[in-house]
Structure 1
Amino acid sequence: MVDNKKIYIDRMIENLPVLRAKSGLTQAELAQVVGVSRQTILAAEKKQRELTWSMFLALLNVFGSNENTASLIDTFEIRPEGYQNSVKKQVECKPSSSINVEKKNESGNSDKLIIEMSSQIKVLNDQLFEVRAKLNELEIEHSQIKEELIMAMNKITSQDEIIEKIMKNRNTD
């Protein structure tokens, strides 16, 4: 199956621009539906990026559920043998919605795949960016505090030395 995966992925990449255009989705909308960036879709369409198997399956579910592209999946021989795309509803590209996709696995049991819109991923990425920015601020603050502490310790050491000299001078007088 590993060698077959590569064949199916290559077929998807080869036909991705046509499938996307026929589906009526923009690169940004398709990216949002499958949970990747628009640049990832662009690079895949230009054959500059390989697809992962999970991204291939997400694209297969999107195009297999779209009435304008479902037949092309079979025409282009993109659907793996034995793979049944039993999507519950037509794929629509609307922010903050999710697409419920149901497929049959090899043993015939139904697995539900939930493909969340990238708006949720964007929120998490934004939160991650904020956490990293805060961490950076804390590291800078930590460095500044460390420098101030060293300066204070140096002052204390200097003051101790001065006090010690004064005490020695008193004792010698």
Structure 2
Amino acid sequence: MQTFSTGMSNTTRWTGMLALLVCIVAIVVMAGRVTDTVAVPLAGLLLVILSITFALSPLRYEIHGHELVVRRQVGRTTADLRGASVSRDDGAFRGLVRVFGNGGFFAFHGVFYSRRLGFVRVYARNRDHGVVVTLRNGKTWVLSPDEPDRMVAAMRAAAAS
């Protein structure tokens, strides 16, 4: 098994902290309005959204034989690398539009669209090191390991086996 870290970029870190601060301020303001029947459910919804986005954010990537595993804070996602096309692409994050997912609150994950890549699944914490993986089934993933060249070489070896 090979493990590849994915560090959080400063932009992602500050976006997450700013969003967290906004959520805390919103909850405090709503908690001060005890008579408002919407305040408590809305504060609860903000906490649920915060928890889900943190839980789904990628932690690291692992290669087990021919399988790529994206470890999350809670759970994991796997893909078979046999027959996959893997390439480093520093411009992979340019022009991505979020369709459904998280676009910067602790990470970038979910379904995104770009004119160049089409619909992609993104599992990243840093937009500086793009790695594009096109699986045998036609699905495309965009990852961001801290050592992209080393991970590309490991994934190509796993895809060839």
The TM-score range, normalised by the shorter chain, is under 0.3
- Structure number with greater Rg is 1
Question: Normalising by the residue count of structure 2, what TM-score does the alignment of the two structures yield?
Answer: 0.21
Comparing both chains, which one has the higher relative contact order based on Cα–Cα distances under 8 Å and sequence gaps of 6 or more? 2
| TM-score for both structures, normalised by structure 1 | 0.20
Structure number having the greater helix percentage: 1
